[in-house]
Amino acid sequence: MPEGEVMEIPPIDAELALAEVRARRAEVVDANLVPGWFWPSIGVLMLLFVAAVETGRPWLVAAGSVAYALGLATLIAALLRRSRVQVRNTLIGAHGAAAIVVFTLVLVGLGVGLGLALAALGVPAPATIACLPVAAGLAFGGPALMTYLRRVMLARPLAGPR
Amino acid sequence: MSAEPRFDELIHAPTRLSIVSLLTATEWAEFKFLRDQVGLTDSALSKQLATLEEAGYVDIRKSFIGKRPRTSVRLSPRGQQAFAGHIAALQQIVARSGLAVIPESAQP
């Protein structure tokens, strides 16, 4: 067929083919999203670790650190085990990347800012208390971020920017 | 920049369209992922991938994770270009017919 010429197939077949492409993209995106259980798990782990460190008791700090390291390693290993595909970076795009950066900065800013403020006010266990909204932000915000990223990735043009 | 519409019969075959559609959304995909998603046997998928590889549309990489062999597949730049042209051709056919009423960006 000469270059640039479009072979004529029935329009319904073309539409069905495009629907297939969209459905397959959704499968890839869904296989890539961080699962819901990850977010509260990481929040609880972080909270326990900060609380253990803040006690200042050496044995508790040591136990908390070991538990945190083991827990984190287990979570990451579980994530990697289910990862059989890597979504194309261009699908996430600038909006998706910005959402991830903003999500991270908000949680870090919230935790550090609240912790410093509580410490300045002389509140006991400021880091642990400051970690509570961060853990909640991870538990609830993580799935919301995934929902947003899914929408962004599925809305990209089918042929996609390269 | 949109691609030049170019209907690609190699890609349009139903099984290969599914495979290339999965690959176009990925940086790489494991052989097993493709097999499970498309619902093919190992040998049937190998045959389809060999056809795509001969056309220069995919790159196949074999590696080991520990002692386990792992086969990964990715769409080559040539494959990406062909897919983009094929999508443009399909969209042109649909647009000419006035069949599509839902804009692409609004579809799930």
Q: What CATH number has the domain bearing residue B73?
A: 1.10.10.10
Domains of chain A by residue range: 33-155
For position A80, what pLDDT does the model report?
82
CA distances from A48 to A20, A51, A60, A74 (A): 45, 5, 10, 16
Looking at the domain assignment, is residue B1 inside a domain? no
CB contact under 8 A, A84 and B18: no
Contacts with A81 from chain B: Cβ below 8 Å: none
Looking at the domain assignment, is residue B81 inside a domain? yes
- Residue-number span of the structural domain to which B88 is assigned: 9-97
Looking at the domain assignment, is residue B4 inside a domain? no
CB contact under 8 A, B108 and A22: yes
**CA–CA min distance A20, chain B (Å):** 7
B18/B99: higher pLDDT: B18
**How many percent of chain B have pLDDT more than 70?**
89
**Residue A31 CB coordination number (10 Å):** 20
CB contact under 8 A, B28 and A7: no
Residue A109, chain B, CB below 8 Å: the answer is no
Q: ipTM of the predicted structure?
A: 0.87
* Domains of chain B: total: 1
The average pLDDT across B30-42 equals: 95
pTM of the model: 0.82
For position A160, what pLDDT does the model report?
60
For position B13, what pLDDT does the model report?
93
**Residue A129 CB coordination number (10 Å):** 17
The answer to whether B47 and B62 have CB atoms below 8 angstroms apart is no
CB contact under 8 A, A17 and B12: yes
Long-range contacts of range A87-91, CB-CB < 8 Å, 24 or more positions apart?
A87/A28, A87/A29, A87/A32, A87/A153, A87/B25, A87/B26, A87/B27, A88/A160, A88/B24, A88/B25, A88/B26, A88/B27, A89/B27, A90/A156, A90/A160, A90/A161, A90/A162, A91/A25, A91/A29, A91/A152, A91/A153, A91/A156, A91/A160, A91/B25
The answer to whether B42 and B9 have CB atoms below 8 angstroms apart is no
For chains A and B, count residue pairs whose Cβ atoms are closer than 8 Å: 117
CA angle A76/A81/A84 to nearest 5° reads 120
CB contact under 8 A, A88 and B18: no
Per residue in B49-65, pLDDT (tens digit) is 999 999 999 999 988 87
As given in the structure block, the two tokens for residue A30 are: 């869904």
Looking at the domain assignment, is residue B49 inside a domain? yes
d(CA B37, CA B108): 19
Q: Which ranges of chain A have pLDDT less than 70? A: 1-7, 160-162
